[in-house]
Structure 1
């Protein structure tokens, strides 16, 4: 079984945080959910994004999610894979140099990385997608292209794997996204 590091933060997309966290644990994997400047036992706020017929998704306050590991004390060599959920958290997490360094380390060591929705903002900021086919929420397509990736326009329930990188546009892709991610373990 794999040990997965999940980097998350306030106003992460609720489903993209909770569902993979719980599903990976249910499959027997160990998942450490961390957030910069927070410790195990502290909570982050989540946001629920839905598609309700508007020109973009809507946002509502989600759950409180309790972190189970300390960001400041993680040892990257202990982990087999990295998971980056979407929502609004990637907007500010990509400004944290330690988060960027972690993503680059997983990429350099050719370990599986999965990012969904706006999680691609972390990949682009880390400079790890050049020449890769990457899906994300469509609003992130310009960032993917500017970072040297090839934006893969997929249906919301699809995912794509390119080497050790698995990406998807949004939470409806969880079944396919998690299937592809765990196949890399």
Structure 2
């Protein structure tokens, strides 16, 4: 079995939801592979946080990170699992038909999939949430339930081959559950 794990993200991806899984996978002996729309330039990751005088989260520029492979060049058969971090990247990546096809291929093969924060927006658009339980950032609850899932407000929610979480502060339990699915 492959030890490669695909991480799909892009500009506006949440730093802690990309880099924590990346390093945790390396620690566990896996090879994380970051896929983005292009490998021509580095991805601009961001940090989301909360301020007392702000109605929603704030966003600040964070690390730049190179993509290992372009989304158009991904062959899902080469990977043991898939991670979809949050941030704003899922908002536009869910419009990429190749991303949706990659997601469907992982579900068709019953391979482990992890998504957090806004990542379930991609799962909803791919049509793979119907009948499942799913965590996500609270503002994504309508998208998750409209896709046929039951929204669960928890740090790690496992539903078949899928493990989801609310946001970066759930990284530990979320990645622990994902690594358990990987075996």
Does TM, scored on the shorter chain, surpass 0.5? yes
Pair 1:172-2:169 in alignment: yes
Match of 2:133 in 1: 133
SS, match of residue 180 in structure 1:
helix
TM-score, L = length of structure 1 = 0.93
In structure 2, list runs of 5 or more residues that go unmatched.
none
Match of 1:183 in 2: 180
In structure 1, list runs of 5 or more residues that go unmatched.
none
TM-superposed CA distance for 1:72, in Å, is 3.0
* d(CA) in 1 for partners of 2:5, 2:135: 21
Pair 1:123-2:120 in alignment: no
Superposed CA deviations along residues 21-77 of structure 1, whole A, max 9, x for unmatched, are 1111122101110112x12x7310011001333432111111101112333322211
TM-superposed CA distance for 1:111, in Å, is 0.6
* d(CA) in 1 for partners of 2:107, 2:116: 16
* d(CA) in 1 for partners of 2:104, 2:170: 25
* d(CA) in 1 for partners of 2:3, 2:27: 12
| Number of residue-to-residue matches in the alignment | 180
TM-score, L = length of structure 2 = 0.94
* d(CA) in 2 for partners of 1:55, 1:72: 37
SS, match of residue 69 in structure 2:
coil
RMSD: 1.3
SS, match of residue 161 in structure 1:
strand
* d(CA) in 2 for partners of 1:68, 1:105: 20
SS, match of residue 55 in structure 2:
coil
Match of 1:95 in 2: 95
Match of 1:22 in 2: 23
Preserved CA contact (<8 Å) 2:51 2:58: yes
